[in-house]
Amino acid sequence: MRYFWPLMAVVVALAIVGIALGIALTRGPSKPPALALAGAVSWKDLPGLQTGKPPWPNDSATLSERLPSLALDSLSQEALAFHIHQHLDLYVDGQHVTVPQEIGFGINPTTNQPQFITELHTHNALGIIHVESAQHLNYQLKQFFGEWGVRLTAKCVGSFKGSCDNLQWWVNGVKRVGDPGNLILKNHEEIVITVGTPPAKLPTSYDFAAHGV
């Protein structure tokens, strides 16, 4: 009898492991979240594209015209089922470009009050991007620039003379290659994009906790 209970404990443990393994194998691997925007942004066809030099306003007056091309929605309020943040630093010839407040807000030009909000937006001019959605999808940086009305490709930021000179970009201090617009936005990323001559020192991180995000 002194071996009975230890043996039974082993049998029960093996049974539990077997059940758990069976459930895992039956379910199969979980699918990654789908892309919110599966295709490319046709920048030449995007309504209200900003063509001047920075600083660039939030371009809220023509935002609703661009949303169908960006797979973003005009929401009556913030949806917080999926809620993450990134920080964007943008430089043109070494000069920091302000990321304005209320990108992603549809503003009534008469009352200056918000009429709607999208899944990607800014609340202030600190460069913090808010991703707030009713479902977990993979949103990309090109969608944010699209609603801002600022072209972003593998070679260009904006549509002014010099906008395609020596584009470089980094995420959390690590230099990247390819199209920054295809970057899938993940929580607490520090994104840096430079055009022309970059500044002597680039940020590699951001203190999200200091701003409650």
Of 156, 154, 158, 187, nearest to 171 by C-alpha is 187
The reported pLDDT for the residue numbered 24 is 46
Q: What is the pLDDT of residue 31?
A: 79
- pLDDT bin (cut points 50, 70, 90) of residue 14 is low
Task: Let me know the angle formed at the C-alpha of 146 by 145 and 152, rounded to the nearest 5 degrees.
Answer: 55
* Residue 107 pLDDT: 87
Prediction pTM value:
0.85
Percent of the chain surpassing pLDDT 90: 81
Q: Is the dihedral of CA 96, 178, 148, 50 positive or negative?
A: positive
pLDDT band of residue 23 (cuts 50, 70, 90) is very low
Average pLDDT, the chain: 90
Would you state the structure tokens that stand for residue 39, as one six-digit string? 């295709």
Q: Name the band, by pLDDT with cuts 50, 70 and 90, for residue 15.
A: low
Mean pLDDT of 160-179: 98
Q: What is the mean pLDDT of residues 132-153?
A: 98
Q: Which residues of 75-114 are buried (b: 16+ CB within 10 A; e: fewer)?
A: beeeeeeeebbbbbbbbbeeeebebbebbbbbbeeeeeee
Q: In the predicted model, what is the mean pLDDT of residues 78-106? A: 97
Whether 119 shows a pLDDT value over 70: the answer reads yes
CA distance 147 to 118: 9
Predicted local confidence at residue 18, as pLDDT: 52
